[in-house]
Amino acid sequence: MTTTTAQSRSAARFLFGEDQDSGQALARALSDSAVIGSLDTPLRLLSQSGRQAVDHQVAAAVHGLLDLDFGDLMVAGWRKQGDLAAAARRTAAKPGSSEVVELASQRISSQHRPLVDLIVNDVHVATVNFQLDIEFLVRALVATVRDGHVVGLDLGSCEVAATLAAEGVQLISRRARFDPVLVIRLPLLLRLGGGADPLPFGAKSPSARSRARRRRLASPPGGRPGGDGSAE
């Protein structure tokens, strides 16, 4: 049984790496792909420096939506695990008891579709659609359940693949293996009764669709959008 302390592993850090500013990396990816300039909006008329400024503002708006914890996403994918829920109910009803539950290989998919609205002088000029797809493949994971909690996980293997796109243009994609114990916070308190699926206490279910805060773009004297912006 491994007792490694759980660590946060967000989608943003996974995609762009632990050693660089993921917000800046996202802005560079947007700039390299020329997504903003390809939109059929007045933003096409921006200079290169103006477009880079918009890229940074869009990246800042959507970056927070990529701060999805892999542990929460994986556990949410186990909500329909009937054996785990049954073990939680039985051990909660009999304090001090524990059960070992073997979870079969499972593919967990999580899709997210954040949007960023661009506003110039109180006028909506564009919406940038992002697509984030995350898939986990978990094999040979064994959970120890005690008093309604998951208190231990034997090491199996886990592979995660993530892809981020904007307006259908892939910005970055990565696939890697890692230790599930590093992204699962123990113990997990499972909700019991009423037929509720297992869910870590206080965890938020991942939203399939979320909207970023609107970005207000400052308009220079020439009337074209660019420069620094501030969130509403």
pLDDT of the residue at 134:
95
List 111's β-bridge partners, or say none. Answer: 133
pLDDT of residue 166: 95
Q: Helices (H), strands (E): how many in the chain?
A: 6, 11
In a domain, 143, yes or no: yes
Distance, CA of 27 to CA of 153 (rounded, Å): 38
Under 8 Å between Cβ of 20 and 56: no
Q: Is residue 89 part of a domain?
A: yes
Question: Is 206 domain-assigned?
Answer: yes
129: tokens are 């659609």
67 with 204: CB under 8 angstroms? Answer: no
Q: Give the Cα separation of 110 and 208 in Å (integer).
A: 8
Q: How many domains does the chain have?
A: 1
| Residue 228: predicted pLDDT | 39
DSSP assignment string, 146-188: ETTEEEEEE--EEEEEEEEEETTEEEEEEEEEE-GGGT--SSE
Is residue 4 in a domain?
A: no
Residue 225 maps to a domain: no
Which amino acid type is present at position 119?
I
Q: Is 146 within a domain?
A: yes
- 220 touches 42 (CB < 8 A): no
Q: How many whole angstroms separate alpha carbon 206 and alpha carbon 69?
A: 9
Angle at CA of residue 37, ends 33 and 38, nearest 5°: 80
Q: Which residues of the chain have pLDDT under 70?
A: 1-8, 79-80, 155, 191-232
The 10s digit of each residue's pLDDT in 142-184 is 889 998 888 988 867 889 999 999 999 999 999 998 877 777 8
Domain that holds residue 60: 11-218
Question: Residue 217: what pLDDT?
Answer: 52
Q: Which residues pair with residue 102 across a beta bridge?
A: 142
Task: Give the phi and the psi of residue 136 in degrees, each rounded to 5.
Answer: -110, 140
